[in-house]
Amino acid sequence: MHIKSAEFVMSNSDVAKCPKAKLPEYAFIGRSNVGKSSLINMLTARKSLAKTSGRPGKTQLINHFLINSNWHLVDLPGYGYARVSKNAKKTFQKFITEYFSQREQLVSAFVLVDIRHEPQTIDLEFMQWLGENGVPFSIIFTKADKLKPKAILRNIEAYKAVLLETWEEMPNYFITSSSNETGKDTVLEYIDTLNDNMKLDDF
């Protein structure tokens, strides 16, 4: 897939106010500071489509972007950021949960995980919630440029070992780096394939 256009559509915290268009939608979510904004900018070949920040927890709304005029990329708030107030966490949790349970246009979620770290409980619990609620998702391992190939494989195997304790099979996953565009084509080709398989009747 070649991304010819990427436009900001809207930001809000009310799922009912999300775009009404019957377009396939792909949501990106992960722990704060996992590199989500950088990944979105890398995938879309736009330097500042998603706002990057050295301060974790910057994204606090549901952000919709229209890609190639035929699908939506959704940037969701990061979870697990300690410096966000308890009330803010509850608010985020509420509209994130509502988004995944109510948004009929959603085709798949992408859960971003920093490949440098061992499996984190908060990521595992979130994936478990998606699975229990029937939300299709893939894992995107980020920051692969920070590790050598053998370390990447070792960390992936560690993740598989933990996930296979509760999952029948390893969820679909991608290895990416926003710095050198590793995984860009693979992720976009996957979205392209899903879009090709979509029918208007599915919405």
Which CATH number is 198's domain given? 3.40.50.300
Give me the number of domains the chain comprises: 1
Residue 34 lies in a domain: yes
Range of the domain at 83: 6-202
Percentage with pLDDT > 70 across the chain:
87
Residue with tokens 């699975």: 131
Average pLDDT along the chain? 88
Residue 23 lies in a domain: yes
- In order, the DSSP letters of 144-161 are GGGS-HHHHHHHHHHHHH
Q: Using one digit for the tens of pLDDT, what is the confidence trace for 120-137?
A: 998 998 999 999 999 999
Residue 179 lies in a domain: yes
Q: Using one digit for the tens of pLDDT, what is the confidence trace for 53-105?
A: 444 444 578 999 999 999 999 999 877 654 555 665 565 577 888 999 999 99
Residue 111 lies in a domain: yes
Residue 124 lies in a domain: yes
Q: How much is the pTM?
A: 0.90
Q: Beta strand 71-75 with 106-114: parallel, antiparallel or unpaired?
A: unpaired
Residue 107 lies in a domain: yes
Residue 1 lies in a domain: no
Token pair of 154, please? 């070792």
Residue 184 lies in a domain: yes
